[in-house]
């Protein structure tokens, strides 16, 4: 095959003048991906989003220096997050005696994963015009905002997926390349069970080069070695009897179709459907500006919706949309690998709809259509993220006020407890019932709450009485008062 033509977010020096929309889309995707990755760090750390939902217990565990004992021994298959984000933050607290600094360190390491992943991908990618890197940016901007703020381990899996993909295809043929690829593959697979899908997706893309190709054979060997370690870790470090059934139920819920019917997914699908219709109408009137007119029209409709009709808040669904991160990233990777291999004239097998995929490389109208749709997706992500962060800021203030106040609800088991029912109803979508007590301890002035804020509906308790008691009796930089409250709360509900 001739090495000519354009890829959806790539370019070819020989054909750039023929398809300027492709070059513009490529630049747009890279700028959007890097900007989003940088904003994740800035916004996440500045607004303390590492404390959101499950992040409260994770941040509390860092502050009291018990991350492994509190929970991470239960999810050994996600050890990469522990080793890359939580253990260094806990080590900072151990060295400095600064719990607040440790929480910031945890947030900084966690939220910077996408930016670090993109930078390593750029370095490892030797595809034509760094096509894999361009798609990595595209994926980061499109799907990572869906879960931004929730501490799902798929966040790190996505960040590790792209440099692993680039290294698997383009690492040099020597022993050193194997030594670099293996830890990348292992770290990705040990970030979340869903990352096994990522590993298989990488092997599939390598298979496009042929089953006798060096990159494919090396990929199979690396995958087999990493999978052996994965099985060993999972078999050797098992979850507690209380946690095991919870993890099993959560695993079965990952691919529930109900996840795709949430408010944000409905908004995105409606936006793209309206844009497609508007583009078709506008194309009949002006072929070169159809995407501009259609995107402007839909953006105006979105503005009217947000101003006059919107009552939703994309908060708790951020946890469930990890499923989209699991499924969508391999789709982006498939396009990236296919077009890169096609450009290299190394495609070993025909692929379904290959004729149409190859023709799409030089379709100016397609690039313009994608650019308009991409802009609208970014617009929705931006507005919904601003709404979420603003509401989170109000929620933390309300929880802090309860934790520092005089109100009390002894019916919860102790006169030092206060109910989340006292929070304003409009802030309830931000509540995460099982971690609110830890959040109240973290938000109180000086980490010394007068009350532990407890959700009456809480039916999942992270710490056993034994674990909480051991931590409460240990010497820590974190104040003893809230650790004692957590002990009382834990012993009331879980022996």
The full set of domain ranges for the chain reads 20-261+318-363
In this prediction, residue 65 carries a pLDDT of 98
Q: Where are the alpha helices (DSSP H) in 190-241?
A: 195-207, 214-236
pLDDT confidence of residue 2 = 38
Residues 85 and 110 sit within 8 Å (Cβ to Cβ) = yes
Cβ atoms within 10 Å, residue 340: 28
239 near 293, Cβ under 8 Å? no
Predicted confidence (pLDDT) per residue in 168-224, tens digit: 999 988 888 888 899 999 999 999 999 999 999 999 999 999 999 999 999 999 999
Dist CA 443 CA 56 (whole Å)? 10
Is the pLDDT score of 6 beyond 60? no
Q: Please provide the size of the chain in residues.
A: 495
Residue 39 burial (CB < 10 Å; 0-12/13-18/19+)? middle
Query: Which tens digits make up the pLDDT trace of 24-62?
Result: 999 999 999 999 999 999 999 999 999 999 999 999 999
- Band (pLDDT 50/70/90 cuts) for residue 18 is low
Are 144 and 114 contacting, i.e. CB atoms less than 8 angstroms apart? yes
Task: Name beta bridge partners: 419.
Answer: 454
Among 301, 270, 278, CA closest to 369: 278
Mean pLDDT, the chain, rounded, equals: 94
Place of tokens 């023709």: 359
| pLDDT for 390 beyond 50 | yes
| pLDDT tens-digit readout, 209-252 | 999 999 999 999 999 999 999 999 999 999 999 999 988 887 77
Give the largest Cα separation in the chain, rounded: 76
DSSP helix/strand/coil, 308:
helix
82, two tokens: 């522990």
**Model's pTM, two decimal places?**
0.94
Q: Which two tokens stand for residue 326?
A: 């699991």
Between CA 387 and CA 393 the distance in angstroms is 10
Mean pLDDT of 257-279: 92
Residue 81 pLDDT > 50: yes
Best CA proximity match to 464, nearest among 445, 439, 492: 492
What pLDDT does residue 208 have? 97
Give the SS3 label for residue 399.
helix
Query: By three-state DSSP, how is residue 91 classified?
Result: helix
pLDDT digits (tens, 9 = 90+) for 109-153: 999 999 999 999 999 999 999 999 999 999 999 999 999 999 999
CA dihedral of 39, 41, 45, 47, whole degrees rounded to 10: 20
Q: Across-strand partners of 324?
A: none
pLDDT at 260: 79
pLDDT for 262 equals 86
Instruction: Answer whether residue 12 shows pLDDT above 50.
Output: no
The whole-angstrom separation of Cα 257 and Cα 255 is 6
Q: What are phi and psi of 452, to 5 degrees?
A: -95, 125
Residue 219, both tokens: 């990929």
Convert the pLDDT of each residue in 392-450 to its tens digit: 999 999 999 999 999 999 999 999 999 999 999 999 889 999 999 999 999 999 999 99
DSSP 3-state helix, strand, coil percentages of the chain (rounded to 5)? 75, 0, 25
């Amino acid at each position: 095959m001739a090495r000519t033509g354009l890829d959806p977010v790539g370019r070819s020096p020989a054909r750039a003048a023929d398809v300027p929309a492709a070059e513009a889309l490529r630049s747009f995707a890279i700028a959007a991906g890097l900007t989003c990755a940088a904003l994740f760090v800035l916004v996440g750390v500045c607004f303390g989003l590492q404390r959101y939902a499950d992040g409260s217990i994770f941040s509390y565990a860092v502050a009291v220096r018990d991350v492994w004992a509190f929970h991470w021994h239960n999810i050994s298959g996600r050890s990469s997050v522990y080793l890359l984000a939580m253990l260094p933050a806990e080590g900072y607290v151990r060295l400095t005696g600064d719990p607040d600094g440790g929480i910031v360190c945890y947030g900084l390491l966690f939220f910077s994963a996408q930016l670090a992943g993109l930078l390593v991908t750029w370095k490892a990618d030797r595809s034509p015009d760094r096509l894999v890197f361009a798609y990595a940016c595209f994926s980061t901007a499109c799907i990572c905002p869906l879960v931004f703020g929730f501490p799902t381990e798929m966040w790190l899996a996505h960040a590790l997926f792209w440099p692993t993909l680039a290294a698997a295809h383009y690492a040099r043929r020597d022993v050193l390349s194997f030594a670099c690829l293996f830890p990348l593959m292992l770290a990705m697979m040990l970030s979340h069970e869903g990352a096994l899908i990522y590993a298989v997706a990488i092997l599939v893309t390598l298979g496009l080069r042929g089953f006798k190709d060096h990159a494919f054979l090396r990929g199979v060997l690396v995958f087999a070695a990493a999978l052996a370690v994965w099985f060993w870790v999972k078999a050797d470090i098992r979850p507690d009897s209380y946690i095991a059934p919870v993890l099993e139920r959560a695993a079965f819920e990952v691919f529930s179709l109900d996840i795709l019917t949430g408010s944000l997914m409905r908004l995105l699908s409606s936006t793209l459907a309206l844009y497609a219709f508007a583009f078709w109408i506008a194309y009949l009137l002006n072929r070169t500006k159809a995407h501009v007119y259609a995107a402007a029209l839909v953006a105006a409709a979105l503005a009217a919706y947000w101003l006059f009709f919107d009552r939703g808040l994309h908060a708790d669904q951020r946890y469930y949309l990890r499923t989209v991160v699991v499924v969508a990233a391999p789709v982006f990777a498939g396009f990236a690998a296919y077009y890169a291999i096609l450009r290299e004239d190394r495609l070993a097998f025909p692929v379904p709809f290959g004729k149409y995929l190859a023709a799409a490389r030089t379709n100016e109208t397609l690039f313009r259509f994608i650019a308009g749709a991409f802009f609208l997706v970014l617009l929705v992500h931006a507005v919904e993220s601003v709404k979420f962060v603003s509401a989170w800021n109000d929620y933390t203030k309300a929880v802090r006020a309860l934790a520092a106040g005089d109100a009390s609800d002894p019916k919860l088991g102790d006169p030092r407890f206060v109910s989340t029912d006292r929070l304003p109803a409009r802030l309830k979508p931000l509540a995460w019932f099982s971690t609110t007590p830890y959040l109240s301890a973290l938000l109180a002035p000086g980490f010394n709450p007068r009350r532990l804020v407890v959700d009456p509906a809480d039916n999942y308790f992270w710490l056993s009485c034994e674990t909480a008691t051991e931590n409460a009796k240990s010497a820590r930089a974190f104040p003893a008062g809230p650790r004692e409250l957590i002990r009382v709360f834990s012993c009331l509900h879980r022996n």
